[in-house]
Amino acid sequence: MNNLKKYTLVAVFVFLTAVCFQHPGITSAVTTITIDPDATYQTIEGWGASICWWGNQIGRWSPDNRNRLIEKIVSPTDGLGYNIFRYNIGGGDNPGHNHMRDYADIQGYQNADRSWNWNADAAQRAVLTRLIERGRYYGSEIILEAFSNSPPYWMTKSGCASGTSDGSNNLRDDCYDDFADYLTEVVKHFRDAWGITFRTLEPMNEPNSDWWKAGGRQEGCSFSYANQQRIIKEVGEKLKAKGLTGTTVSAADEASIDTALEGLQSYDATTLSYMSQLNVHSYFGSKRAQLRDLAKSKGLRIWQSESGPLSFNGDMADSCIMLSKRIVTDLKELQCVAWLDWQIIDGGNWGSIYVDDASQTFTLTEKFYMHANYSRFIRPGYTIIGANNEKTIAAISPDKKKLVIVATNDNKSSSANYTFNLTRFSGVNSTVEVYRTSPSLSLAKSIITASNKIVSDTLPPYSINTYVITLDGGVESVPAVGLQSYNYPNRYVRHADFDARIDENVTPLEDSQWRLVPGLANSSEGYVSIQSVNYPGYYLRHWDYDFRLDKNDGTTIFAEDATFKLVPGLADPSCVSFQSYNYPDRYIRHYGYLLKLERISTDLDRQDATFLIISDDSPGPITDSGYIMAYFKQAPGEYGLNLCYSTDGLHWRNINDGKPVLYAQMGTKGIRDPYIFRKQDGKFGIVATDMLGTNWGDTSQYIHYWESEDLINFTERLIKVHNKSNMHAWAPEVFYDENRKQYGIYWAGNTDYNRIYVNYTTDFDTVSDCQVFFDPGYDVIDAHIVSDKGMYYLFFKDERASGKAIKVARSSSLTPNSFTVFTPNFITSPNTEGPFVFKDNNSDSWYMYVDIYSNNGIFECWKTNDLNALSWTKVTGISVPPGVRHGSVVKVNRWELETAISRKVVTPPAPTPPPVLKGDVNADGVINSSDIMVLKRYLLRTITLTEEMLLNADTNGDGAVNSSDFTLLKRYILRSIDSFPV
């Protein structure tokens, strides 16, 4: 039964009362902040800092004194709780130069004569080692990055590691590969000799800044955007060549957010394929949202990798307030998953810790406690959630049992009264811990009381305040709903360019999804505000009686304009209408398909002002409205990803007019055997064989991976699944192992014969080494796993010459090598492969589709009501688009289905197919008896042919290679005919 539900007004009030309205209303205060757990953003992976140059300084202290200081950096209870550290690979300046500031002249590991000195930089390495040891002692996941400020002086144009005379590019044109080799060799030595793995390697620092000049006080090197790409590619290739699979490239650590955006826009696909992470410094610039959106579209993790009071005039207290607000802005707008300081130890308003080298003692500054307000409480794994105030951030723990709020009062002389509305949480403990930092307070702890899920507090002047709240009942989630027009039932309320309308087009899906949350101006029962799903913190509000999607600015007028009373539908009391809170004689209605706030008088007005609330009564995405199949076509110029859809699982129609929705831009740029699936976060994932055409003899270490929220826009990457030079990786598919909390990527690979291998991953970026998953003792390909009633079923192709057939194995777990074959000769046709299985949405039937490869583009379908049984029946009367090969199916909800089928996708051009010379089967440029022998061996299945060979072998031009082509070729060789059919 379809779970899509149309709520009556009574059901709406029951539903909203249960999850939204849990107190009689709140008294208005100076600043009221609503904490919204449905507005979820990034998950924090940590806090940290660069180690240079203070590591070079403190590393020279006695071990006891050094270790006491390091405890204040890594301890999550008594220190900053940092878990991310950036190690500076020194270039090393000319020994004859003496212009660097104290401790900034970091030793390089390679000398000008190309010899290596692995005793270099001992002080910084000693600090790094201790940070790792103590961080792990506290149970922290330590994340390390290596970065460079400059190449070794002898690779530079100026002969100086601080830059050129005019601040231009300083790396010599003939040394890009040398510099990449230097950096990656250091990373390799750290891994192999010292057991330290850097997750990322950044070859640059602030490369577009104009201050990297010869004779400067620190290492630095400029790189133009073009040269940035050049060094990224060189480093990426060296990492790959040296087997440094645990390290990827990050870039480009620009000093300005706006410059970083411009640079990222210039990067080509090859450059991006080597990158996993965007690093940016938030000293300057304002285009955080644009940079965030671009980085996410490229599949890049975002770090704010360095910041501080650069070009800031003010004392320590001023600096702390400024940086506290910057942290909030970076977390909210840039949505970085890590926030890193520059210098932990420094003078002036830069230092979190002041040190005295002579006595080897240290002092904690106000900046230390300001950072601790964030890093000690918003721990790795916490998720940023909605807080509608620009100086406030909120985060929730992974188990949903702890809420942390950090609020800044930037008024130097006056206290501020804040009220935090926590009514969206099902249970709030009355005891609230507060930690305050100000010029007179150093993370001072106090206790206040929450009442009826409301926390009220007075923030001292110039203070940072952290609230730690225990949640007794987790989160009361407000589900996403659609608002369907009463008199135009094929239209839904959506936003487009922030205008509000009713529209047949529901793409992207989230533009027509809303959350009915307690009214911003009146949160008592029956009043709601309409919040966007894909723009949390944005609401439908009226402005001059028109409607827009606007960001809540915290003002009273906004709250009133965005609050409505739910009343029985004016045209049908089983539906709903939205009455304005501040203009109660007006209602939301559509006029010319645009939303308006108007008085209602006629029957047509009443119909226009009536809506149905559409939602789902089951957790997670709606998955029973239809199916989308991913497939490829084996034809010249094809080999892209095609999609088709069905509402009954048996009759399929093409999406995008039968054209591919994407072509691969990486690897061989060919796609075979696509597998589409839904990830745990609700997004779509697609994996595919990296092969162009039918080059069966080619080896492949990589598979394709794409990710999409709407099957319109995709991010692409290659995943390396093995390191063998003589093995392929065919027909990859994915399962999620609940026990491991990891995805398994499984595929067919050959050594002496094909087995099914598996890699494990959590992010489809870093994967485990492959291991054998299924090996019945003979050649197997095309594995496909489904589960039912506590059992897992693995369908596969027996590829032995004597036993070619689809078979099935079963297991009670996803443990490697736990499957046992239980159905001999499941389907006996030797020309069948690529099985995929799914359950019917409306019955107990399971369908299995198989690819009849001997007839290019033909599927068969089989059905059973019990996967554990031996009995399957063939289904007749199915229809699939012409040319389908090796498919897979994902279930979708109504909005996802309508999104996919209604939008035309513009795809890049397909890879250029090889030239066709009909009859030249062995592709040697001539047509003779050798071609007859090659074709005969192919038809006898003793050899395989490349794509070019297959195109040439199709002498009659019917799209298949069979005995008819052999007859024509033989006649041509015997001169019975002088040409082939066109």
Q: Note the pLDDT of residue 620.
A: 34
Domain's final residue, options 446, 475, 504? 475
In this structure, are 981 and 918 located in the same domain? yes
Buried b (16+ CB within 10 A) or exposed e, 966-978: bebbbebeeeeee
Task: Give percent above pLDDT 70 in the chain.
Answer: 91
- pLDDT, tens only, 501-554: 998 766 677 788 999 988 888 877 789 999 998 888 889 999 999 999 998 766
Helices (H), 301-417: 316-329, 366-375
CA dihedral (342, 348, 353, 359) in degrees, to 10, reads 130
What pLDDT, on a 0 to 100 scale, did the predictor assign at position 639?
78
DSSP lists the bridge partners of residue 417 as 458
265 and 199 inside one domain: yes
CA–CA separation, 332 and 325 (whole Å): 11
- Look at the chain and report how many structural domains it folds into: 5
Judge whether 602 lies within some domain: yes
pLDDT at 618: 33
Same structural domain, 736 and 610: no
3-class DSSP string for 660-705:
CCECCCCCCCCEEEEEEEECCCCCEEEEEEECCCCCCCCCCCEEEE
588-592, 666-670, 728-732: which has the minimum mean pLDDT?
666-670
Q: Which domain does 793 fall in, by range? A: 626-902
**CATH number for the domain harbouring residue 605:** 2.80.10.50
Each residue's pLDDT tens digit, 131-165: 999 999 999 999 999 999 999 999 999 999 999 99
Q: Strands across the sheet with 653-654, in order?
A: 653-654, 642-646, 626-632, 885-892
Q: Is 723 within the bounds of a domain?
A: yes
State the pLDDT at residue 782. Answer: 95
| Higher pLDDT among residues 895 and 810, named by residue | 810
Residues with Cβ < 8 Å from 592, sequence gap 6 or more? none
Residue 18 confidence class, pLDDT cut points 50, 70, 90: very low
Q: Do residues 609 and 591 lie in contact, with contact meaning Cβ atoms separated by under 8 Å? A: no
Asked if 303 contacts 338 with a C-beta cutoff of 8 angstroms, the reply is yes
Whether residue 908 is contained in a domain is answered as no
Q: Is pLDDT of 16 > 80?
A: no
Q: Is the pLDDT at 775 greater than 80, yes or no?
A: yes
| pLDDT (0 to 100) of residue 13 | 52
pLDDT at residue 22, as a whole number: 41
Model pTM?
0.59
- Quick one: tokens of 70? 């390091």
- Return d(Cα 726, Cα 745) in angstroms, integer: 20
The highest-confidence range among 466-475, 520-529, 690-699, 903-912, by mean pLDDT, is: 466-475
Q: Does some domain include residue 783?
A: yes
**Does residue 429 sit within a domain?**
yes
Q: 875 with 859, same domain?
A: yes
Residues 70 and 56 in one domain: yes
Residue 207 scores a pLDDT above 60: yes
DSSP H helical ranges for 484-642: 556-561, 603-608
pLDDT value at position 20? 46
- Neighbour count for residue 603 (Cβ, 10 Å): 11
Percentage of residues in the chain having pLDDT higher than 90 = 65
pLDDT digits (tens, 9 = 90+) for 372-414: 999 999 999 999 998 888 899 999 999 999 999 999 999 999 9
Q: Are residues 108 and 63 in the same domain?
A: yes
3-class DSSP assignment, residue 918: coil
How far apart CA 469 and CA 641 sit, in angstroms, is: 48
Which pLDDT does position 619 carry in this prediction? 32
Say yes or no: 469 and 481 in one domain: no
Asked, for residue 313, whether it belongs to a domain, the answer is: no
Question: Could you tell me if 721 and 813 lie in one domain?
Answer: yes
| Rounded average pLDDT over 925-945 | 84
**How many Cβ atoms are within 10 Å of 449's Cβ, its own excluded?**
11
Q: What value does the mean pLDDT of the chain take? A: 89
CATH number of the domain where residue 86 is located: 3.20.20.80
Sort 704 into a burial class: Cβ within 10 Å, 0-12 / 13-18 / 19+: buried
pLDDT(456) > 60 = yes
What are the angstrom distances between the C-alpha of 981 and each of 926, 945, 957, 958, 965? 18, 22, 7, 10, 11
Last residue of a domain, one of 842, 869, 902: 902
> Is the pLDDT reported for residue 914 higher than 70?
no
Query: What is the rounded distance in angstroms from the CA atom of residue 331 to the CA atom of residue 325?
Result: 10
Within a domain: residue 282? yes
Shared domain check, 469 and 528: no
* Same domain, residue pair 269 and 158: yes
| Confidence at 269, pLDDT banded by 50, 70, 90 | very high
Please determine, for residue 1, whether its predicted confidence score (pLDDT) is greater than 60: no
What mean pLDDT do residues 796-807 have?
A: 85
Lay out the sheet containing 791-798: strands in order across: 780-788, 791-798, 805-811, 820-827
Least reliable range by pLDDT among 301-310, 517-526, 692-701? 692-701
Asked if the model's pLDDT at residue 825 lies above 70, the reply is: no
pLDDT, residue 7, reads 52
Tell me if 341 is assigned to some domain: no
Q: Is the pLDDT of residue 600 over 50?
A: yes
481 with 467, same domain?
no
pLDDT at 811: 95
Is the pLDDT reported for residue 959 higher than 80? no
pLDDT single digits (tens) 707-759: 998 888 899 999 999 999 889 999 999 999 999 999 999 999 998 899 999 99
The CATH number of residue 924's host domain is 1.10.1330.10
Buried residues in 378-401 as b, exposed as e (16+ CB within 10 A): bbbebbbbbbbbebbbbbbbeeee
Listed in sequence order, the residues at least 6 apart from 536 whose beta carbon sits closer than 8 Å to its beta carbon are 36, 38, 39, 40, 41, 386
* Total residue length of the chain: 982
pLDDT at position 669: 87
- On whether both 670 and 589 belong to a single domain, the answer is no
According to the model, what pLDDT value does residue 86 have? 98
Model pLDDT, residue 622: 38
* 226 or 975, greater pLDDT: 226
Task: Indicate which CATH number applies to the domain containing 785.
Answer: 2.115.10.20
Q: What is the pLDDT of residue 856?
A: 64
- Minimum mean pLDDT range among 125-139, 612-626, 769-783: 612-626
Using alpha carbons, select from 442, 486, 449, 479 the residue that is nearest to residue 464: 442
Predicted local distance difference test score (pLDDT) of residue 534: 85
Query: What's the mean pLDDT in 915-934?
Result: 85
Query: 428, 444, 475 — which closes off a domain?
Result: 475
801 vs 128, more confident: 128
